[in-house]
Structure 1
């Protein structure tokens, strides 16, 4: 299990829920707590706390149960964090992004691309249209994609390094 105060976890959640959301997340003690108590502890507006909790709930990090007050009939939400899901969620997201980037890299490496003023197409499509764009009427010109391939390779390497960090935490 990744620790909630680990640098990798903090950076991941800072990107997903922002600094205020991270502050809220780091304020919550072990066990169950109401959103009102979280707002007091983190010195944050209740609406911001609820927004953060719902986003964390969508990602299976925050969980809640409800209690009904017998006297008033009010429903109270008791929240708690499930940090056991953090590592799996981070790895799954990295795997999905890696698959997407690797697919895009493969397309770029295997394809020959042409571009007009409005779109970028494969050679076969440009040739089928006699190298004239049906949408804007301009000619398709060959476009090199070496820079894009290098950029994709860099993004993949960076993501694989990040994924390795997750495994080692």
Structure 2
């Protein structure tokens, strides 16, 4: 069904010359333009002209790759499915609205026709021509629009049916894109976590290397600790004695 819809889009945009290109471009991977030309049985220039016309509507995307041996660039193409479906949806909606306008006009106005020439005129045009055909001189007759209005009604029904199918395909494509996006986000999260873990590992390694490069601290000897303790004791004794002497002197003064 999707290929049929895409065929309809491409033929309406480019013409019948593009028939057969749809199955080639309706892939998940980009396709070499020379392969497209070969499978269509046309020249590379003709193929490029078709692709450029489709590209003007934004319905295809391409990537450019350089041939390492020959040195020239080759383009690879594929359909942008969502854009194609949206394009067709908008086209169908527009066409349907145009038919509705025509139906309203046919119901509200009178049209005249020359049966010999098969030409049709609205009331203002017929009045200017004095209700007589300039080509053959035959007098106009009032045109019966009932058949045309019925046909237009059938066309609007067809458009509605096709719109429903297109909307279903759009829903499917949105679901695919959503899943693809979710997978991409999960992959990105894993990559971020991996990068963070690697960065942490590098930081830890640098810390270890830094510690290893520092000179080793000498252990304190027992003698030093004893001397420190003795110094502390002597200082504390001196403080006590000085306090006592201060107290005695203060008492004598009293």
Which range, TM-score by smaller chain?
0.7 to 0.9
Superposed counterparts of 1:4-153, under 5 Å: 7=1, 9-15=2-8, 16-17=10-11, 20-26=20-26, 28=27, 30-38=28-36, 43-45=39-41, 47=43, 49-50=47-48, 52-69=50-67, 72-116=70-114, 117-118=116-117, 119-153=119-153
Identify the structure with the greater helix proportion.
2
User: Counterpart in 2 of 1:3?
Assistant: none
User: Counterpart in 2 of 1:4?
Assistant: none
Which one scores higher on RCO, CA 8 angstroms, separation ≥ 6?
1
- What runs of 5+ residues in structure 1 fail to find an aligned partner? 1-6
* TM-score, normalising length: structure 1: 0.75
* TM-score, normalising length: structure 2: 0.53
Equivalent pairs counted in the alignment come to 158
CA contact (8 A) 2:96 2:159 kept: yes
The DSSP-based 3-state class of the residue aligned with 1:20 is coil
What is the CA-CA distance between 1:46 and the residue it aligns to? 5.1
- What runs of 5+ residues in structure 2 fail to find an aligned partner? 170-254
Q: For the residues of structure 2 that align with 1:163 and 1:121, how far apart are their CA atoms?
A: 33
Q: For the residues of structure 2 that align with 1:155 and 1:50, how far apart are their CA atoms?
A: 35
Larger Rg: 2
CA contact (8 A) 1:132 1:138 kept: yes
- Distance 1:125-1:24 versus aligned 2 partners, 3 A rule: same
- 1:135-157 deviations in whole A, cap 9, x for unaligned? 43221111211100000011011
